[in-house]
Amino acid sequence: MPVETDRTPPLRPLTRAPTLGELLLEGAEPERNVSLRFLFVGDDGPPGRRGDAPDDGVTLRGLEVLEVARRAAAHLRARGVSAGDRVLVLLGGGPAFLAAFGGCQLLGAVPVSLSPPLPTGSVDEHLARIGRVAALSGAVATVTLPEVAAYLRLGRGRGPGGEPALSRIILGRDLLAEPTRLARPHQARPEDPAFVQCTSGATGDPRLVVLSHRALLTNVRTIATVLGFREGDGGCAWLPLFHDMGLMGFVLCPLAGGIPSVILPPEVFVRRPQEWLLGIARYRATISAAPNFGYALCARRVQPADLAAADLSCWRLALCGGEAVSPRTLAAFASRFAPMGFRESSFLPVYGLAEICLAATLPPLGRPPRIDSVEREAVLCRQVATPAGESLAPAETIGFVSVGRAMPAHEVRLVDAEGRPVAERRLGEIEVRGPSLMNGYWGAEAQTAAVLRDGWLRTGDLGYLADGELFVTGRHKDVIITRGRNLFPEDIERAVDGVPGVRVGRSVAFGVPDEELGTERIVVLCETRLGGQPERDRLQRQVRVAVLTATGMSPVEVVVAAPGTICKTTSGKLQRRRMRERYLLGQLGPPRETLLTRARLGASFFLERAKRAITRRRGARR
């Protein structure tokens, strides 16, 4: 078996830079081995640096990375941005993203990163969100693509009060073309905000996660240490850079650890997933990462002929995170690509979230994923993950994938509905603590206080510990996570409300795990008074189109129901979780046995918590 030999290459020295600006300056030194290759950049590279072949890309090495950042910083300053200002970055990736991000660091400005509108989505919906983020963060400038800039200039991106929140609009390519350079970089303090990433609030409102230089550098240094970055290592991924896994995993980690990195645009991966694997083989990458669906897509979609003689034996670490990790996906991927040299022991299922920069836990390297098979009934009804005995039928068991232990200097614990730590194999809410935690949510003290207590972050995710390793079983938020992207049910429901024939305010959206797709399937349930089958068929199609237009993603299933089907609370709130449960029980569509268990885990735990909270409140009143 071709595993590690005794001649393990030496580890790479990690950066000691206290800030991201220092990290860029340090990266200019040749021995830091900095090299970022952007594939399929087309015209989006620095002037005169277009790749000849489309997949050859543009490579920026040490000093060139710093140069790009220096020019971008000069451009931003000339456009009125100064230290401490927030700058909205609406770019998918590529050298322009690097310029905007690095330019802000040298200038002491804080990049606020958000996905640009998707080609298939509605620009208006997305612009409203951009406007909210701009207003909330008080951004003074926006860096984006020409086509997005055209819309922003029309003044459509406005804050909640209708005020134009997007004032100075700067094109990413102008940052790259700037002829002058910033001479003296800003001296930031390690605790200063270095980066703001957007995540979801409980009601779909954006939350701005403020990460300090110290938190970011601690997280990427810890990841590089645990992964054992060494001579000969290299990254290759297709993740967008507005996503933490892309930016921190494949730009900041490589800069901090002194290993080269190759980055493909996500849209290339979606069309031709084999490009990811071909990139790994071609550039002899050793480290890559993707959400579960990326592995699932390859396992189903990539044919051996697409890979020709590609050799994946170089791939020593295949991280999988960002959404639920499915044992079935890992097995399917491993068996399909074993003939090309992929090893199952390369898999590293991980757990993390935006509030802790990127990663919180990692399993030990070099072992196949640990799957814990537990009794379905015990996990569902008694909140205990009892190991499944030999005598149980497969339908009576359920498998969860270990995401390992807390990284060094970080802690993970599980607490019950009262906030008390629970015993091993008892289900609880996951809390994490450590030096990579965010400073807080920008401009939202109450929300920050609600999730950060005594240094512990309440994640809202559920799981259990077994032999000290974490198993994630579900979550309680209504957010739908599909293909590594968070969607808000409110946004989908608003779009569905606009379809003629749908009863306004009488539709719900939720996500259910889909083993075949390897991600969550979006389900929309909507009420209508239309009775005829042709009208209902038309409604289903129109709802699909409306959701696609609003979010850029289509719901995979639209369930049309009679008036009165959807439950609301007495205060008029939609009961999404209850409708989801009814759907999974087959009361609204086909029964889904395997989905049911995974999906129900979240609900019962938080129901229990709510009950106890009510009991407590009653007790206090007595």
Catalog residues that contact another protein under the rule CB under 8 A. 120, 267, 270-273, 297, 300-301, 483, 533-534, 537-538, 540-541, 543-548, 552-558
By beta-carbon proximity to another protein, the closer residue of 120 and 180 is 120
CB of 123 to another protein, least distance (A): 16
By beta-carbon proximity to another protein, the closer residue of 437 and 530 is 530
Sign of CA dihedral 588, 589, 594, 595: negative
Rounded Cα distance between 95 and 115, Å, is 16
CB of 124 to another protein, least distance (A): 17
By beta-carbon proximity to another protein, the closer residue of 405 and 544 is 544
By beta-carbon proximity to another protein, the closer residue of 333 and 441 is 333
Rounded Cα distance between 279 and 65, Å, is 21
Rounded Cα distance between 471 and 64, Å, is 42
> Is the CB of residue 275 less than 8 Å from the CB of residue 122?
no
CB of 541 to another protein, least distance (A): 6
CB of 559 to another protein, least distance (A): 9
By beta-carbon proximity to another protein, the closer residue of 405 and 483 is 483
By beta-carbon proximity to another protein, the closer residue of 199 and 542 is 542
Residue among 91, 143, 86, 141 nearest 115 (CA): 91
By beta-carbon proximity to another protein, the closer residue of 497 and 557 is 557
Give exposure, 466-492, as e/b (b: 16+ Cβ within 10 Å). Answer: beebbbbbbbbbbbbbbbbbbbbbebb
CB of 272 to another protein, least distance (A): 7
Residue among 12, 62, 71, 66 nearest 35 (CA): 62
CB of 206 to another protein, least distance (A): 22
By beta-carbon proximity to another protein, the closer residue of 117 and 463 is 117
Packed helices 533-551 and 123-137: angle between N→C axes, nearest 10 degrees = 40
> Is the CB of residue 112 less than 8 Å from the CB of residue 208?
yes
Q: Is 514 exposed, middle or buried (0-12, 13-18, 19+ CB in 10 A)?
A: buried
Q: Which helix (H) or strand (E) holds 220?
A: helix 213-227
Q: What is the DSSP letter of 439?
A: S
By beta-carbon proximity to another protein, the closer residue of 214 and 544 is 544
Total Cβ atoms within 10 A of residue 192:
19
Residue among 261, 257, 360, 357 nearest 16 (CA): 257
Residue among 355, 100, 360 nearest 207 (CA): 355
CB of 588 to another protein, least distance (A): 13
By beta-carbon proximity to another protein, the closer residue of 267 and 490 is 267
Q: For tokens 């979780």, what's the residue?
A: 577
By beta-carbon proximity to another protein, the closer residue of 226 and 539 is 539
Query: In whole angstroms, how far apart are CA 219 and each of 212, 248, 275?
Result: 11, 9, 29
Instruction: Name residue 131's beta-bridge partners.
Output: none
Rounded Cα distance between 236 and 89, Å, is 23
By beta-carbon proximity to another protein, the closer residue of 196 and 546 is 546
Q: What share of the chain is helix, strand, coil (3-state, %, to 5)?
A: 40, 25, 40
Render 24-91 in DSSP notation, one character per residue. Answer: HHHHTSGGG--EEEE-S-GGGSSTT---SSTTT-EEEEHHHHHHHHHHHHHHHHHTT--TT-EEEEE-
> Is the CB of residue 194 less than 8 Å from the CB of residue 110?
yes
CB of 528 to another protein, least distance (A): 15
By beta-carbon proximity to another protein, the closer residue of 305 and 620 is 305
Rounded Cα distance between 263 and 592, Å, is 38
Determine the residue type at 585: L
Render 360-423 in DSSP notation, one character per residue. Answer: SEEPPTTSPPPEEEEEHHHHHHSSB-PBPPTTS-GGGEEEEEB--EEPTT-EEEEE-TTS-B--
